[in-house]
Amino acid sequence: MTRLGLNLLTSEPSARDGEVTRTLVTGKGVRVERIVSHGQASPEGFWYEQAETEWVTLLAGRARIRIADQAGEFTLGPGDTLLLPARCRHRVEWTDPDQPTVWLALFVDGDLKAP
């Protein structure tokens, strides 16, 4: 067994100067990342539209996500999850500027389905 030597919450880097992404594990068609934001948002007019399915959970902080062609935003707090199918256009509208927002993101080549 390989130990990462990382606590997802207490080992977060400072993200005040820019979002910090660390790939934790990878495998055939799968990747897990820890992302730390601190007041960052997607650039104006920018939309993520990746080929992978993404399942994300917020471990700490707060964030708001907008999904194209859907009214309103999704507000996420600790423990909240969101499933973003491949090619789902989305953007980060806001992350808390007063505390780190820690995300755990699972990227999969293929579909994921909620039970």
Tens digit of pLDDT at every position of the chain (115 positions): 566 678 888 877 787 888 889 999 999 999 999 999 999 999 999 999 999 999 999 999 999 999 999 888 999 999 999 999 999 999 999 999 999 999 999 999 987 777 7
Task: Determine, yes or no, domain membership for 95.
Answer: yes
- What pTM was computed for the model? 0.88
Domain holding 70: CATH number? 2.60.120.10
**What pLDDT is stored for residue 12 in this prediction?**
72
Task: Determine, yes or no, domain membership for 31.
Answer: yes
Q: Residue 88, SS3?
A: coil
Task: Determine, yes or no, domain membership for 9.
Answer: no
The dihedrals phi and psi of 46, each to the nearest 5 degrees, come to -90, 135
**What pLDDT is stored for residue 21 in this prediction?**
92
**What pLDDT is stored for residue 3 in this prediction?**
67
Task: Determine, yes or no, domain membership for 3.
Answer: no
- Residue ranges making up the domain that contains 37: 20-108
Domain count, the chain: 1
How many whole angstroms separate alpha carbon 19 and alpha carbon 65?
16
CA 60 to chain centre: 11
Task: Determine, yes or no, domain membership for 14.
Answer: no
Contact 32, 106 (CB under 8 A): yes
Task: Determine, yes or no, domain membership for 1.
Answer: no
Task: Determine, yes or no, domain membership for 2.
Answer: no
Q: Nearest to residue 56, comparing CAs of 90, 16, 29, 83? A: 83
How many whole angstroms separate alpha carbon 83 and alpha carbon 85?
6
